[in-house]
Amino acid sequence: MEPTLDQVRQELADIHDELLALPTDAFDRRSRLKDRQNELRQLSHQMVEGQPLHDASHLKSAYDRLQRLRDRLLDDRIGAGSTGDDAVWGEMSLAINKAIDAGVGTDEIEMRLKEILGQLRSSS
């Protein structure tokens, strides 16, 4: 049985959580998770391509779910703390957050949120 889009996105979120929790020396597990993450992202894109417009309640539900996921991912970001040289830490935290965003697909989530908003506007 093929997974639903919600199931694919939930597994992506679970993988993200596991990647964040892994110790830095868990190279093999990290590699397997990243491979699965890439597979799921491709599957997600295939599932979304050419999807017909859905009713407004479905679109709003999908939008709310993605917003919660995006907010959770943003909450997991590293904040600019007040230890040591703030300028160096600020640059490091920006670089780390950028790498995290790229790894979890925050840009893809933002893009999908914009698509859903466009669909909602056009269906009104």
Q: Is the pLDDT of residue 27 over 50?
A: yes
pTM exceeds cut of 0.75: no
Q: How confident is the model at residue 123 (pLDDT cuts 50, 70, 90)?
A: low
Residue-level length of the chain: 124
Instruction: Name the residue ranges covered by the structural domains of the chain.
Output: 1-51, 55-124
Distance (Å, rounded) from C-alpha 48 to C-alpha 105? 15
Distance (Å, rounded) from C-alpha 52 to C-alpha 36? 27
Q: Which residue has the tokens 């998770």?
A: 33
Q: What share of the chain in percent tops pLDDT 70? A: 82
47-105 residue pLDDT tens: 877 655 456 777 788 888 888 888 887 777 776 554 555 666 677 777 777 777 776 67
* Residue 75 or residue 43, greater confidence: 43
Q: What is the DSSP string of the chain?
A: -PPPHHHHHHHHHHHHHHHHHS-TT-HHHHHHHHHHHHHHHHHHHHHHTTPPP--HHHHHHHHHHHHHHHHHHHHTSPP--SSS-HHHHHHHHHHHHHHHHHHHTHHHHHHHHHHHHHHHHHH-
Least confident of 3-12, 33-42, 86-95: 86-95
What's the confidence (pLDDT) of residue 53? 47
Q: Is the pLDDT of residue 124 over 70?
A: no
Q: How far is CA 74 from CA 24, 33, 84, 85, 86, in A?
A: 21, 20, 24, 24, 21
Q: How confident is the model at residue 28 (pLDDT cuts 50, 70, 90)?
A: very high
